[in-house]
Structure 1
Amino acid sequence: MSRPERPGDYEWLGLGAPGILLTHYPELAAVDFGPEPPMPPSDVPLRASGARSRKELTRSLLYLRCREMGLPLEQVMAVLLDLRQDWHGSLAVYREHTLPFSEREQALLEDLKPYLTNTVRNCRLFGHEALRGDLLDALFRHQGAECVVMDPPEHERLRTPGATELLRRWYPEEMEADDSRLPQELREHLERLQALGPKRASGVDTWMRAGGKHDLQVTCVQLPEQRGSRPWVLVLQECSRAIPMPEPWREKLSHREVEVVQGVLRNWANETIAEDLGLSLNTVKTHLRNIFPKLGIESRTDLLYQAAWRRKSC
């Protein structure tokens, strides 16, 4: 494979030839066994015996370099693969003895050409899709999110590896029955967005599902048209409802008191804080009684207000 605008930059999709030849091929491509470059477009495979004389072949730089590398490549037959993209390809068959490729072998390669072209094109396209999927997965992992790409109302194109586990946590009953389908609530939300069309108001594409300790934020983004349809990306991210703790507070509190304040800032009840930290309810209440005077605040409500105010003023 190579790009017309980047001569000498080759990509090998198969390893039928020894690796040493592939490594050095870019510097030798201009003196290949075939006709003088550029290779003319043709539906008929070309044989070296039909393009150059035996004497010319044995004097070519590629022939001499191959022998230096211990590769006695004596004959070649090549076919250009018209992939109708911004790149093109070719298939070359090398022979290590002097018997030329026959017209029958040339005809066989000609018959195989359409299948070879489709195979290489599909490998290339699927390779790009796989790369996009890997990059998408890395992006969402970096952001702590997962995604599902849908063609409404039911057809799913792809999902990042962690998306299924995230949906199982939030929709355990539905996902236990069939974890290959998007939960009904998400499908209905997507259908509503699809039905609104251009009338969608700003902000309607993001909504929250409330949970005990976290919320599930779902952001729906419609992609540009692809092959007659416009798919949607559902970005799924668990979000804490916590107000960030002001850094000066940490210096005034013990490690356990910091954990209790973080529970309060998540808007958890004392019972939830106790369960999360493995403490008794009375111990949590005692910690709070000690925390309030250390921070110069009067109550739980005042703690939430002061934290929110400090965050807004930053």
Structure 2
Amino acid sequence: MVRLPKLTAAEYMLRDRAIRAFNKPLTLREALEALRPLLLELVPADSMGLCLMHDNRSPGFEWLVPGHPLLILKRYAELIEHDPFRAPIFARPNWVVRDSQLMSRKTFKGSIIYQRSLEWEPRLEHIMAVLLPIRPGFFAALALYRHRPRAFSAENAAILGSLTEHLADAIRKYCDLQDLDTRANVLDELCRRTNAAFLVVEPPHHEVQRTPNAVGLLEQWFAPSDLHSSGMPLPLKEQLDALMRMTPDERLGKDSWVRIHGDRFRKVQFMELSAPEGPPRWALKMEEIPRSIPLPEEMKRKLRPSEVVVARGVLSNWTDHQIAGELGRSHHTVKTHVKKIFAKLGVDHRADFLYQAAHLNTP
């Protein structure tokens, strides 16, 4: 559950608008442009940037900077080895870090990052950043900047921290819909994808489109008695109805429908699409995932040996109690291991872990 900071009614409304602006897939760049004025007012800050990267060992990265460009981020490759935030945020993902926590003001002003900002303007007087695990081995670092000497406070960090789950969840969805430019293109592209199963609906229950793969899965998954009069499966319609009634915080972790059938999971991911006018449409992404999945080597490298055996139990669809009994450990120990595993791999829950492992095992 998201820990909400102490906010005024106006700040809560602004926070809600920021979350909703970022959760309606256009492109990631357009979403950042929509988020920028709201987030910079809420925190507040003067500028922001989002860095997409793979892991701490890889130099590869891409900065997305809404609003006015920041020259220092365009030339970040020259500074990456001198970035004092890189190691701390990788050491503690989802934890908001401020420059005043890392070093004294004198040390910060002597840093290469600060000195270069004086040359390349605007100067970066204060920085606050957080690392968001998106997929195993793939991260997004969000950085906020102040161009005048007024340090970010603990309250500012708490506000940003309350948004991190929303931002990571939204970025994952943008990755699922990457390279799609507009809502119209989204719908056209979904129908062209031969390896994906999407159902696009306009609430409350008007079906807009379905891909050929979706036709097959819907026929396999649902009997005629499971269908609403519109043709949409009742379980999916009920979950969509519930999602539309929820606040952004309530939606976290509830935008997937997962059922076990034989040796496979049936999963539906609900994604709200932006609409220039009229009600928003929703894309329902459907897929089947094996219940027992090998632990990918990429994930294994991030875990301790004791965590590897627990992770394999989770991928075998064992409960924490079953894993504890099989390994001769306490339920509390296993539960703690599972929590640490999910944090290290950047997954939200068991279904997400299974999905990511299955994706990495796909040739």
Q: Could you tell me the TM-score, scaled by structure 2's length? A: 0.37
Q: Over alpha carbons, which structure has the higher Rg?
A: 1
TM-score in terms of structure 1 length: 0.42
